[in-house]
A = this chain, B = another copy of it.
Amino acid sequence: MDGRTVPFYGLHQAGIATPQPEYLEFATFDVTSEAVDELRALLQEWTVIGDALTKGERNLLRKEGELGGAPADPGEAADKGPAHLTITIGFGPSLFGATGGHQSGFAGGRPYALAPLPSFEGESLDADRSSGDLCVQACAADPQIAFHAIHVFTRLASGVATLRWTQQGFGRTSSTSRDQPTPRNLMGFKDGTNNVRVENDDEMNQHVWVRPGDGPSWMEDGTYMVVRRIQMLLDVWDATSLEGQERAVGREKVSGAPLGQEDEYDPVDLEAKKNGELAIPADAHIRLASPDLNGGQRILRRGFSYTEPSLAGAGQLDAGLFFISFQRDPQRQFVPIQRRLAANDALSRHLLHTGSGVFACPPGVQPGGFIGEGLFA
């Protein structure tokens, strides 16, 4: 029984700047109803139930619903407690008719920042693992609690929206706070050392939260989420020399220190030389992802590792990173960074992007309101 709770209501949605627990269940949905009122009713219900779930209040097996006496709750979370559950809801470009999908009567239309992502060099996207009109990110300290939330939300959506795709994750792949030691990704490297820190209000306001004037007012204090399913091609990576791995990343594998430095948190010096050559090679991941090469742009990374069934014939493990980032404007932040990485990053040869999505995550609400209410004003 894990009684830890994170408030659902607040200025911002939970699951962005709140501490990152170990497990993820992520889902997107396609809206099937043409009635805007039905979508509003679903968001109202998701909000009320989302709050209840994060308090651990929805394990009432005996409470019967409207479906012929079926239990109101499927029950697998009973006795487990809230387990640090957070729910984060977002809207995809397709909800606004940009790429098909739900044609809404929303005031104002699609925010500019919510444009569909462009194609990137070398990606191999599976349409069945990409996009969606709505997304729900459930994070918890117990995978059964995260699953339960998506299970409940899927059932509530019946008749209004259908499940499109899901993704599970485990193990933080970024440190979002100095309070958390930097975890290792499935390539064996510490990942996320140089992340935006959620406790730094200036950084959050500069890089993550949508500010007045950025676009439609219903997104103020919200943020934009980019997700990428990134398979790690581990067989070739595992056969790469330690030096080759470190030069591709730009950090030492054991310590996490930038090449040419001693400690994980030593500053990344892109000019430093060793034996007359750049200590951090020209095509190293941390150089190309560096704010210095990206006009000072940074993003808040909050991803998870994944491991999934590898089926006979594949011949290698299917494992990698479910990358999640939050930013004020993907067009100015994620897109140019990823374009540079896809074209030149030495690490990219060991990665395959197989799924993708971009979503507008509206601000948080107070009790009585509902996530996305500004859309219906």
Hey, which bits of chain A sit against chain B, CB under 8 A? 25, 30, 61-62, 64, 67-71, 73-76, 78-79, 126-129, 142-144, 147, 150-151, 154-155, 162-168, 170-171, 181, 184-189, 234, 237-245, 253-254, 305, 307-319
Top 4 nearest A-B pairs (CB, nearest first) are A75-B188, A69-B241, A128-B311, A128-B312
A308–B309 touching, CB < 8 Å? yes
A-B CB contact pairs (8 Å), 10 listed: A61-B242, A70-B241, A71-B245, A129-B312, A143-B307, A144-B184, A166-B307, A166-B308, A166-B310, A168-B308
| B310–A163 touching, CB < 8 Å | yes
| Docked-complex contact A317 and B69, CB < 8 angstroms | no
Contact in complex: B184, A170 (CB < 8 Å): no
The answer for the CA separation of A314 and B64 in the assembled complex, in Å, is 27
- A191 to chain B: closest CB distance in Å? 10
The reply to whether A315 and B163 form a contact with Cβ atoms under 8 Å apart is yes
Question: From residue A20, how far is it (CB to closest CB) to chain B in Å?
Answer: 15
Return chain B residues, CB-CB under 8 Å to A30. 312
Residue on B nearest A242 in the bound complex, by CB: B71
The residue on B at minimum CB distance from A312 is: B128
B residues less than 8 Å from A186 (CB atoms):
74, 76, 144, 147, 151
Q: In the complex, A162→B64 CA distance in Å? A: 50
CB A189 to nearest CB in B, in angstroms, measures: 7
Given A143-B171, A253-B61, A317-B150, do A165 and B310 touch, yes or no (CB 8 Å)? yes
Q: Whole-angstrom distance from the CB of A306 to the nearest CB of chain B? A: 9
Once bound together, how far apart are the Cα atoms of A142 and B188, in whole Å?
15
Q: Contact: A25 with B78, CB < 8 Å?
A: no
What chain B residues lie within 8 Å of A317 (beta carbons)? Answer: 150-151, 154, 163, 166
Instruction: Beyond the given A64-B242, A78-B254, A162-B315, please list 6 additional residue pairs across the A-B interface where CB-CB is below 8 A.
Output: A74-B237, A129-B312, A143-B307, A144-B184, A155-B238, A163-B317
CB distance from A205 to the nearest CB of B (A): 33
| Known A144-B171, A151-B234, A315-B163; contact A242-B309, beta-carbon cutoff 8 A | no
Are A74 and B147 interface neighbours, CB within 8 A?
A: no
The docked-state distance in angstroms from the alpha carbon of A165 to that of B312 is: 5
Contact A188 B76 (CB under 8 A): yes
Q: CB-CB < 8 A to A253: which residues of B?
A: 61, 71, 75
The one of B69, B162, B244 in contact with A243, judged by C-beta atoms closer than 8 angstroms, is: B69
Chain B residues closer than 8 Å to A245, beta-carbon distance: 71
Of all chain B residues, the one with the shortest Cβ separation from A254 is B61
A244 to B69, CA, bound (A): 9
Assuming the contacts A126-B311, A234-B151, A253-B61, asked whether A76 and B239 have C-beta atoms less than 8 A apart, the reply is: no
Residues of B within 8 A of A76 (CB): 184-188
Docked Cα-Cα span, A242 to B73, in Å, equals 10
- What's the minimum C-beta distance from A78 to chain B, rounded to whole angstroms? 6
CB distance from A173 to the nearest CB of B (A): 10
Determine if B239 and A68 form an interchain contact, defined as CB atoms under 8 angstroms apart.
yes
B168 in contact with A71 (CB, 8 Å): no
The residue on B at minimum CB distance from A80 is: B184
Residues of B within 8 A of A239 (CB): 67-68, 70
Residue of chain B at shortest CB distance from A189: B75
CA distance A30 to B129 in the complex (A): 29
